[in-house]
Structure 1
């Protein structure tokens, strides 16, 4: 999963409102499954290109955690920095795309795991 940071703020997408997907109608980070033979760092770059059209992105791993609010998978969380703003990105999955300051992002209806990631990122950023 990637916490995408742009000059406009934290970039999130509004998940489709379909009952069969996890956390429908919630704002979320970007991510997807690692394909066979792929490393997590390769997967996150591929997912960001597929879901946002991002080619200019610098990723660094932050931490690995188990998604206890979802299917229990071990996830690698990346910080992904891009010079692009949401209006320069092409969303291919979800209902909407926008950027938010930290406080505004935490006021959104977020997927629980994404809320946890944002809260942890903010806490660790304040310590640095």
Structure 2
């Protein structure tokens, strides 16, 4: 796994995890965040995920977050790289790839406004946090085997 940040050894940094979830057509599942002033990136399309609990690994965090936010269990969960959300939460975010071929409208959404699959060529028209856009572009440039 690659990291885009350097930090002093022993320093504590808040962590989180997100998942780039694709279907068999190569579409990406995005999550429209609530429009609330107290959250990072309100009213932006993002990836499902969230902050890690104390002592929780990134893989444990993303598995828990997918279940909590959407009742979602994915296949082929693979850790990819880390990116710091410098202009939002400040967290070091672990990106994962996974696949799921269900109907996103059937998912139990507990946070946010909507879940929707988008073809990669339509992503440029969406309002997406910069670190998420960067992670998606990195994934699309060299998707996991």
TM-score (norm 2): 0.78
Q: What is the distance in 2 between the residues matched to 1:66 and 1:35?
A: 17
**Which structure has greater helix proportion?**
1
Aligned partner of 1:30 in structure 2 is 48
Name whichever of 62-71 and 113-122 sits farther off: 62-71
Structure 1: which 4+ aligned runs deviate by more than 3 Å?
Answer: none
Contact 2:22 2:100 in 1 (8 A): yes
Q: Which runs of 5+ in 1 are unaligned?
A: none
Aligned partner of 1:102 in structure 2 is 120
Give the count of matched residue pairs: 127
After superposition, what is the alpha-carbon deviation per residue over 1:41-69, rounded to whole angstroms, capped at 9, x for unaligned? 11101100111111343310011222223
Alignment of 1:1-128 (within 5 A): 1-7=18-24, 9-125=27-143
Q: What is the distance in 1 between the residues matched to 2:109 and 2:52?
A: 20
TM-score (norm 1): 0.88
Q: Which runs of 5+ in 2 are unaligned?
A: 1-17
Q: Does the residue aligned with 1:87 lie in a helix, a strand or coil? A: helix
